[in-house]
Structure 1
Amino acid sequence: MPLKKFSFSKHSIAYLLTVVVILFLIGSIFFFDSQTIFTEQLIFSTVHEIEKELNGYLNPISKSLQKIREDGINDKININSEPSLNKYFIPLLKASKNISSIKYFDNSGHQYLLYKENKTFVSTFRIEKTFNNEVVWKRWKDVNKQISEWKQNIEKDPIRQNWANYFKSQTKSDSIFWLKGRGFVDVSSEEITAISFGKINQTDTIFGCGIGVKINNMISSLPELNLYSNPKIFLINSRNHIIPISMDYNKKNEDLAADKLSDPLVVSFLSTWKDLGSDSTSFTLDYNNDIWWGQVIPFEISKSNLKLAVAVSESQLIFAYLFNTYVITAILIIILIIITIVFFRRRAKKIKPGEKLTESELKQLLEEGESKFFELKSSLRWDYREEKVNKKLEEVIIKSISAFNNSEGGYLVIGIDDDKNILGLNNDYASLKKNDADYFELHLRNLIGSAFTVRYSARKININFITIDNKEICVIKIEKGEYPLFLKTTDKNGKQIEKFYVRSGNSSQEIGSLTEINDYIKVRFNSENN
């Protein structure tokens, strides 16, 4: 008997490759985990990861502000009316999930503020150089769709905050300045603000523009920041003011000068940093019986002269490192387990001949290819090479049916070639007396009945038709036989002989030796029936 051919389906190859990759990743994690890691290395990598995440978050904000400044200089922003400002700024605010507010004003008294709130936009606009504590707010669904309007008396000007007067001398500079901003609805909506100034071409009009970013939204969007409990993270601008990201400070106090902070740890951090020479080397400080690691590095973003300062306790650094290592390992192991379960379930489903095939099940078997339980045939009797009827092909179909019966059963599909091209049954239909599926099935059952008895055809053969790409395909389900089938055929001398076929790998093979046939039948049929 020929040796069984082993073949791997696409799913098997994909599974094996996935397992190899996951095992390699797990091995790499444990290899690097076995190497000695020092705390100064952890703070260095932490600070630079935070820098990368912050840059990715804030850099688009800077680019949006630069575009606003360029359009203002070129007089593309009409500051004389609220509808014109809404037409320019609402689409900008709608397109960015990170921008929470926009301020725009000039030295002629035009003042405009727009911020997002629950999928709507709230604006205020006025033309006056002095603030009289009254603000008229308008809520918009879209550019020209106003929802409501109301007035509010507030103590501080929401547009021209104190910082707006600091940089009037910078109108010829394209630098962007970052500062701590203020929320407009409640104190909890604290912002950091990027501002820039310019002068409209051919005029004496000086304008300022600012973009606000909610601190809470930014923190929740940065994965590295969420690894630590109460880290101290802030920016330091060129005026030595603190821009808080994750730190304690008095929200009602607008003065965030480095020498007027309320957070004792940040004060100690800045003092230690200056005492050590204000360079980017990492350093330690003792605070509340814990060792804290800190580092200050230049933060390059759109010509902004900023520094990024980070302080994290040593215990949190080590915990985060171990957490990352073992969580990633656990996730990879879980993925490996899930993939293994899915693979073997698919495999179990594939090798178990059951009820009639559905179209999706047939497509799945086609993806996996021919096997011990699945075989493809181009036609029942139409010879595609000779382009005519060839009744010898009918014998090939009967041979495959006997092989499935003598093995474990399976599916024989007619109308798809070995390359999985969908050929259909039209040529076979046209070769019969009636050109339809019913007569095709009747003819096929007559062939099976003549070869193996009508009783066998009725009990062990199930035939159904599936349409794929508008072409009918015949699917024959052959159940595992209760007794052996021998195929009667004629040899070269015209003498009738019997042959015995079984499934071997993805083909039907003859067992020629009488001794082998008897041994096979004894194991396959007699032992099972007993």
Structure 2
Amino acid sequence: MIKTLLNPAGTRQRLLRDLIVVILLTTGAITAVTLIQGANIRKEIAQEHIRQNLRATSDAIFQFYDPVRSNALLIQKWGVAGIWQMDDIASITTKLIPMMENMPQVAAVKFGDTEGRSYLLTANENIWITRTVSPHRPKVITWKQWVNGQLIDTREEEKPYDVTNRFWYREGLSLTSDKQDDVTWLPPYMLDYIEVPGLSAVMAWTSEGEDPLTSVLALDVPVNDLFNQITETDVGPNGTAFLFDGDASVYHPVSGEERAETHQFFLHHTAVEAPDVREAMGAWHAKGKPSAAFTFTIDGKAYWAGVQPITADTKEFWIGVVVPQSDFLQKVLERRWGILFIGLIILGAGFVMAGFLTWKYRHQLRDMPNRVIRDDHFEDDVRRLITRGEGSSLEFKSTMRMNLKTEKNDKHIEIAWLKTVVAFMNSAGGIIVIGVDDDGQVVGTAPDGFESEDKCRLHFRNLMNQHIGLEFTQYLHLYIGVIDGHTVLVIECERADRPVFLLNKKEESFYVRSGPSSLSLTMRQMLKYLESGK
């Protein structure tokens, strides 16, 4: 049914004819583009290069941020469940130390509540230090030192400390109920216990009862560590990654004494010493703050740059990448005629080999899927799929995670379409359309309750990581679009070059397509299937 849309021509003669046409058209296109459209090629290559570097920088930041967010969510759950007892300092500390040991990017974890209690845990080399204030003794700070979870020293300091005056506490206390289910990242401020600028991942929760108590949690990350994570990202031999405020100021680390006096975490881009960063920011403003990659020159030398927010929800911090054009184009430009000549030779040899490969690998070629969904024709392409109906290469699902009968998120719903993903990758590929019911009616994914497209994509990525493996995402293409006001997801699955398993409840299963169904194979059946080369 959908196979004619997914696969090349079904016969050797038509496939050979199409390959000849493709070779001739490709040769003509390469010649024309090289001679006439060089500037466009340069722009496309440059933009892709910038996107890749921004993606690499973003991935490095995600690995930096994600453990902080995950552990903050876990601590909040403990707080809501009543596990935290702010008066039991030893219990809290022994729970938090192992967690902090696995988060070297976090300088401290802090708590405060509306009764005036406050708690801080930080480290000085191998010694863990807590700072606590009790509402019964608001003018006394108690310091304790811990080694291997054991208390080794206690001292008290006659010094008032009011947690309600702290920036992180006030911001956390102001969070509305709909923002308490996820981490809120605060803009940079001075961390009072180490006198360096930092960011805080803040969460809050309120206990139930006659006298509700609101607690605020903050996990502190020094901005310098984030800055180092960005600047150490590999963006090419002469490229530069930088951090800025989304407008005109670039983050610039200075000495602790200087920072303590000025509290300035950013410099206006015109005062930045690095010429590539300074000129990139100037060009970005001059061009109207474009979201796509842009070019500029320094002393006649071409550069490319691009910017984006660190995360979709964090607008206070942006990342930028600047790369000289010579990093990725100079050799291509110098050898463009030689490359064209070699390309023509390769195409000629490919033409000779095409007939032989077409005959020898005709079954594999017939299974090879092409992209069906085009971004600018999403609705038309999806409606064409719906018209053809479900089959061996196409399956409809109403939701990604919501059980429409129980009106609750259901793991079985997720596992059902994940089985199909695995089966498609182990077979000839296929397409899953989520937001369309079995009758072909567009119902949308609104019941899944995703706040944004980014949250949906993150949930999809997490499911792949948990049940299939991120290394197989190269065979998957997720599209999100709107049809008749309903959000629809399309997952295109290519045939994988190695076996794919579904991990569920610590058990791995191997699925293949059998007609319109996904069939689980035993070990013996799987070995026979793989040996057959299907």
TM-score of the two chains, using structure 2 as the length reference = 0.42
Q: Please identify the structure whose Cα radius of gyration is greater.
A: 1
Flag the structure with higher helix content: 2
